[in-house]
Chains A and B, each alone.
Chain A
């Protein structure tokens, strides 16, 4: 049997995707379906004083126009940051209050998508406009939580001021990161069909169970009456995790018109009807003695939040895990402004906090006249600096050494401005990447047939990451089948529990469930064959039969391939379930997950701290005349436990680094302060890297064994690659030019 784990396997769903055979949620068209369109608010804050729908209603093809007064049976759910499944706590179209620009104010249903959009343009709302601020004022912030233990939002250990006064060198610096939007290729979409009291929702989702749980409770229906379908997702990155108003409005509209309705949200509306990465300020005070050892570490994060939610994605939890220091203070603060509620976007706090941390470390290294890599080495924490538990595995410096060697870091001229090539200034920079290992409870069902096929079923999602492939690989490895014989069924809420596809959780958590389901299936087959009158395992104590690479082995050298054993049983097939629960997972987190929430063990358990690590090195070139910033080389080395699929993992890490180039140089949701609106809400003006911006991106994947994180030894990697890229590029810009840019994105306008 060929090795199927820690090898390169091409995506099993690739042929379906490139031939169009893969049906995404919006590809399902129930009979008699109508089309929805949203009307969104021009103003940011105020009151809807009237809404004239007469022109829209008169438009040919328009079936109905719903407003806050006319949409019956519209239900809402509690927001995520208030412990519910919703993307925000405030729900539009429940009244006349306007709390953010682009808030839905009406919903048009028509016979065609074009008529619906046209009808939406003809709706005429009138407003009484109030004063609004879209950007936060960092000087007007409030502290979130407080506590002594590692889970507390605010942590103090020792005395940072004393540590700073002992320091030979210190930095006291502030970094700023902007609003950003996910911009998945696949638009937000929802199709709802009622048949009596039974509801089907087709929607691209990172959590079909969250959707079903929330919708069924909102409507007082049993979960058996609600079907949620999301077989493929064309990019999510955090934007398709919660239940948003566009979904609940579509469900209500379908009920009201008595026909299925599909809504495809327009690209500009995608900027306001769901979440985004909030803007932030990252403040660091870090001191070190002459040898570079930290004497003090302080990180205060101020992040933007809406007027009605407290978006806490605590980035200080990650930064304080990085470097050893006797004196530590970290603080999470929020500042409110008039937007919809932000949320998760790929590495939802690590992107911005590590831009700050790793730039600050570079500034400190320069002050100490130290190689930035060596500064990380002398401070490489062997135990978690706050929780004081060991890391389950930590290969940060191995990553630095591998990436530095591949990059040619030793050959650099460390002098600022010391490297040029024709009209280009050249600079090198590096930064740490990390991502917490979050382990959710997860379940899976495996049915294996004596014909040599297996079905693996679980309510997980392939958000483009390769989940279909890796679950097939895990099953193939355990059951002794080729990957192509393992058919993975996902993306429906009635399947066994899998976690929200967020926080780089799925491979480690749901993968472990698939693994356990296969072991349970093998045990079942072992029991059956041990009771049969003949066969190599006949009469063997089934408790002593083990599964090894698809072969059942008895205690005395007896063996039989699992498939052969299964074929010999009277049924010729077997079904088993497996549920994985990390020993450190609390009952509360287990319950939360089964209720559609995000319950995890980690990254810090009472025994261990679980993180994946990496190191990224960037070469930048800045043109002498145009001041354009380009990144000809980006090298990263990563260690994240077992690599399940070296090809899809490589793509995840490389994709993260490419996105990191975007975060560093391109991405920003521009804001119009005067009207409190996002200004560039389209992918022509919201810049992301194009092919020409991405030159050499090299990914090295180190071997790392971790027996604590889960039975497969897997750490999540979906978000690891983006962390640190912006700092590595910013540090390289400083090396090239002597200019320290502390506000993302880093632009040519900052260099003239």
Chain B
């Protein structure tokens, strides 16, 4: 780890000023940042610790709108009974993430910016990594192990997978990211926040230097109540998803009036499976329909050498999640 300067601003505007300087990063829970600094992958000159800013704390579960301060902890929000009733997929995505220790440390704003677990990105002994060293190549695609890489949204430069859980649930329900930066405040649809790798995998979001996530907001919709986050992984807890799905259904009788599907463990960014949602909308729900939606969700997937299993697995996970959401819509689960 390099030596670095540590800043503890007294206000959001001071934080923005401090974080706007070249070579500086923002520190919240630190569960990704400090980890990557210890690995010498991130080497900031300075860290601006925003955890002392009370305006970024707290969260509200409103009837029309959910609001999560950027510094709300994964653990406190994951334990909220009102949120569990309003949108079980959101609390489940938090509960199934990381470990209790990490959930107590990690903050919701930083969580959506969590960086890939691609082993070639995280281990500097591998020379090739376009995300870490632009232009150096991609070890994963150059004969590497690709069982945990993206089969959706990757590029020839980078197939690193976005690892989180929470953002998959956010994208299913059209969350908005509120930011404040040198250019003022803005509202970014979460679907626009992350950038696919393309030729510049080192640029992961549209956030500008010094721009700080202040809150995440979600307008309440009907499909939230009958929602579910299903995470498939080899270990029961404390493991990243092989495939996950955040789904929500709104039913009118036996007909699906709205369907939401976010995918995790398979894509370079939080992934919305819009085509699969369209399979469901306006149709009579059935297991066959759920399976069809699962297949369509992965129709565009490009399997890598070791990740072909994710296509049938992903289809089943989407279908299974929809079955649970449907049971919830029917009041059965």
Contacts and interface: CB of A to CB of B under 8 A. Distances in A.
Nearest to B241: A626
A680 B320 CA distance: 30
Nearest to B99: A690
A752 B235 contact: no
Nearest to A694: B236
Given A627-B316, A748-B242, A692 B1 contact: no
A693 B230 contact: no
A675 B309 contact: no
Contacts of A666: 234-235
A623 B234 CA distance: 12
B320 A687 contact: no
B143 A748 contact: no
Contact of A748 (B125, B127, B313): B313
Contact of A674 (B123, B143, B234, B236): B143
A118 B1 CA distance: 7
Interface in B307-321: 309, 312-313, 316-317, 319-321
A690 B235 contact: yes
Interface string A668-705: 00111111010111000101011111000000000000
B4 interface: no
B64 interface: no
A342 to B, nearest CB: 20
Contact of B235 (A118, A627, A689): A689
B328 interface: no
A121 interface: yes
Nearest to B143: A674
B61 to A, nearest CB: 28
B316 A121 contact: no
Contacts of B243: 626
B233 A628 contact: yes
A672 B144 contact: yes
B302 to A, nearest CB: 17
Interface string B224-261: 00000011111111110011000000000000000000
B230 A625 contact: yes
Interface string A597-628: 00000000000000000000000000111111
Contacts of A677: 125-126
B233 to A, nearest CB: 7
Given A679-B119, A693-B235, A748-B232, A670 B145 contact: yes
Interface in A730-747: 745, 747
Instruction: Select the residue from B125, B231, B239, B323 with max chain A CB neighbours within 10 A.
Output: B125
Given A674-B144, A749-B147, A626 B312 contact: no
A665 interface: yes
B325 to A, nearest CB: 12
Instruction: Select the residue from B232, B234, B243 with max chain A CB neighbours within 10 A.
Output: B234
Contacts of A674: 139, 142-144
Contacts of B235: 665-666, 687, 689-690, 693
Contacts of A690: 235-238
Interface residues of B, number: 36
Nearest to B142: A674
A683 to B, nearest CB: 10
A42 B323 contact: no
B89 to A, nearest CB: 16
Nearest to B3: A118
A630 B230 contact: no
Interface in A619-677: 623-630, 665-666, 670-675, 677
Contact of A747 (B40, B125, B234, B321): B234
B243 to A, nearest CB: 8
A452 interface: no
A624 B125 contact: no
Interface string B180-220: 00000000000000000000000000000000000000000
B1 to A, nearest CB: 7
Contacts of A671: 145
A625 B317 contact: yes
A621 to B, nearest CB: 11
A628 B233 CA distance: 7
Interface in A160-203: none
B123 A268 contact: yes
B319 A625 contact: yes
A752 B230 contact: no
A692 B231 CA distance: 15
B117 interface: yes
A745 B239 CA distance: 16
A625 B323 contact: yes
Given A665-B234, A666-B234, A693-B236, A749 B309 contact: yes
B30 to A, nearest CB: 15
Given A268-B123, A625-B230, A685-B119, A692 B237 contact: yes
Nearest to B294: A625
B41 to A, nearest CB: 12
Nearest to A688: B235
Contacts of B119: 670, 679-680, 685
B145 A679 contact: yes
Nearest to B242: A748
Contacts of B319: 625
A749 B313 contact: yes
Given A626-B316, A690-B238, A749-B242, A42 B230 contact: no
A154 B232 CA distance: 44
B320 A625 contact: yes
Nearest to A671: B145
Interface in B126-142: 126-127, 139, 142
Contact of A752 (B125, B236, B309): B309
B313 A42 contact: no
Interface string A277-313: 0000000000000000000000000000000000000
Interface in A424-457: none
A670 B306 CA distance: 12
A40 B123 CA distance: 13
Nearest to B40: A121
Contacts of A692: 236-237
A626 B145 contact: no
Contacts of A673: 143
Contacts of B1: 114, 117-118
Contacts of B237: 690-693
Interface in B276-333: 309, 312-313, 316-317, 319-321, 323
Instruction: Select the residue from A623, A625, A747 with max chain B CB neighbours within 10 A.
Output: A625
Instruction: Select the residue from A121, A268, A752 with max chain B CB neighbours within 10 A.
Output: A752
Contacts of B125: 40, 42, 101, 677
A42 B316 contact: no
Interface in B1-51: 1-2, 40
A436 to B, nearest CB: 32
Instruction: Select the residue from B123, B127, B142, B312 with max chain A CB neighbours within 10 A.
Output: B123
Contacts of A745: 234
B316 A752 contact: yes
Interface of A: 40, 42, 101, 114, 117-118, 121, 268, 423, 623-630, 665-666, 670-675, 677, 679-681, 685, 687, 689-693, 745, 747-749, 752
Given A625-B317, A691-B237, 8 more contacts: A626-B231, A626-B243, A666-B234, A671-B145, A672-B143, A680-B119, A747-B234, A752-B309
15 contacts: A268-B123, A625-B319, A626-B232, A626-B317, A626-B320, A628-B234, A628-B236, A665-B235, A674-B142, A677-B125, A677-B126, A679-B123, A687-B235, A692-B236, A748-B232
Closest 10 CB pairs of A and B: A625-B320, A674-B143, A626-B232, A692-B236, A749-B309, A692-B237, A752-B312, A752-B313, A693-B236, A42-B125
